[in-house]
Amino acid sequence: DARTAQAAVSTGRLPADRAVRAALARVHRRFQADRGGRVADYIPVLAEADPELFGIALAHVGGSVHAVGDADHLFSIQSVSKAFVFALVDQELGHHAVRRRVGVNSTGLPFNSVLAVELNHGSPMNPMVNAGALATTALAPGGSAEERWEFVRRGLSRFAGRELALDERVYASETATNQRNESIARLLDSYGALARDPVATTDLYTRQCSLAVCVRDLAVMGATLANGGVNPLTGERVVDAEVCRDTLAALATAGLYERSGDWLYEVGMPGKSGVSGGIVTVAPGKGSIAVFSPRLDGAGNSVRGQRVTHYLSGALGLNLF
Ligand code: DON
């Protein structure tokens, strides 16, 4: 691994496909028995997830995708969607407008904090916490709820390179237990910080979180950000290169919530986690690593996902610093 990593650092590219495949097989074996963390249960249907599920995928900006373990298992994208919806909205509104209307600073508080909104005089703070994600989703263009949903669903599908669909069970379960997000949306609205109706915005946000993906999809989505906005599988330009820069900056600041500093210190790349157990990590100009493993730490980040990404960052020489 040390030689592979050194070669990658000195060439500025990902190691050859064979070395990548060997590293994935090794890391999957190494962390197979890792049982750290607990499956999320505040959304009832998520508590039913098999905690042993474990998939890893790596997508190269050149278009190859390598995967190991439960790489085709579908799960709801949850907060990983926030990165890509932010990119789509940034593409529509531009660098300055999204900063003004959402913000790009960390809260240092949990992802669903109400206090963070209050402490910051109604600012949504950043697009990766729920308040900022709600404020971002409220900016999705479209003349009707259906059009705005298609903007989000189609946009995330273009990042993934295939048509993504709603997981109806997750959507129903989350809708039935959504008081907190609806409260955050109403609080933002009371400050004039939400572009649309709080109930409709919470519904659209809940739909985006309920899109079903597999870990391969997440890797391709991340590789599109690594590739300056062009999907490496389909060749389609999804967003501009400037939008990828904005999005990766926001991820570096807040992609793993109050643990984002620890993450950057250990892994050295922007990443985004979700409560169903996905984490996507972007190596700009090179590719993306995605891990799916449902057991989480106290901040809502997959424990095994973090450990695997840390290992691969070192083994493949991906740390940006
Ligand atoms: O809004 C929520 O609480 C969930 N739909 C998403 C939260 C989430 O994924 C936080 N991530 N680690």
> What residue has token string 């040390």?
2
Measuring CA to CA, which residue among 237, 293, 245 is closest to residue 39?
A: 293
This prediction has a pTM of 0.97
- For residue 53, what are its two tokens? 């599920």
Q: Phi and psi dihedrals of 214, rounded to 5?
A: -115, 170
CATH assignment, 80-209: 3.40.710.10
> CATH for 2-78+213-315, among 3.40.710.10, 1.10.150.120, 1.10.3720.10, 3.30.450.20?
3.40.710.10
- Identify the pLDDT of residue 4: 75
What is the pLDDT confidence band of residue 86, given thresholds at 50, 70 and 90? Answer: very high
Q: What is the mean pLDDT of residues 3-29?
A: 85
What is the pLDDT confidence band of residue 275, given thresholds at 50, 70 and 90? Answer: very high
Q: Which of 12-16, 40-44, 161-165 is modeled with the greatest confidence?
A: 161-165
The predicted-structure confidence for 28-61, as pLDDT tens digits, reads as follows 999 999 999 999 999 999 999 999 999 999 999 9
Whether 2-78+213-315 and 80-209 share one fold: the answer is yes
How many alpha carbons fall within 13 Å on the CB side of residue 35? Answer: 2
What is the pLDDT confidence band of residue 5, given thresholds at 50, 70 and 90? Answer: confident
The CA distance from 95 to 225, in Å, is 16
Instruction: Give distance in angstroms: CA of 317 to centre of ligand 1.
Output: 30
Which residue out of 209, 218, 256 has the highest number of ligand 1 atoms within 8 Å of its CB and is therefore the one to mutate? 209
The predicted-structure confidence for 87-114, as pLDDT tens digits, reads as follows 999 999 999 999 999 999 999 999 999 9
The atom number, within ligand 1, closest to the CA of 42 reads: 3
172: exposed, middle or buried (C-beta count within 10 Å: 0-12, 13-18, 19+)? middle
Alpha helices by DSSP H, the chain: 2-11, 17-31, 80-93, 95-101, 115-119, 130-137, 145-160, 168-175, 179-190, 198-209, 215-226, 241-254, 260-267, 303-315
Output Rg (C-alpha) for the chain, integer angstroms. 18
Q: Is the pLDDT of residue 9 over 80?
A: no
Pocket residues: Cβ below 6 A from ligand 1: 78-79, 111-112, 130, 174, 181, 209, 273-275, 300-301
Residue extents of the structural domains in the chain: 2-78+213-315, 80-209
Under 8 Å between Cβ of 148 and 218: no
Q: Phi and psi dihedrals of 95, rounded to 5?
A: -50, -50
The predicted-structure confidence for 183-197, as pLDDT tens digits, reads as follows 999 999 999 999 999
Which residue out of 43, 130, 306 has the highest number of ligand 1 atoms within 8 Å of its CB and is therefore the one to mutate? 130
Q: Is the pLDDT of residue 10 over 70?
A: no
- Identify the pLDDT of residue 60: 96
Instruction: Give distance in angstroms: CA of 81 to centre of ligand 1.
Output: 9
Under 8 Å between Cβ of 91 and 243: yes
Under 8 Å between Cβ of 278 and 305: yes
Instruction: Give distance in angstroms: CA of 274 to centre of ligand 1.
Output: 6
- Identify the pLDDT of residue 7: 66
Instruction: Give distance in angstroms: CA of 241 to centre of ligand 1.
Output: 27
3-state secondary structure of 287: strand
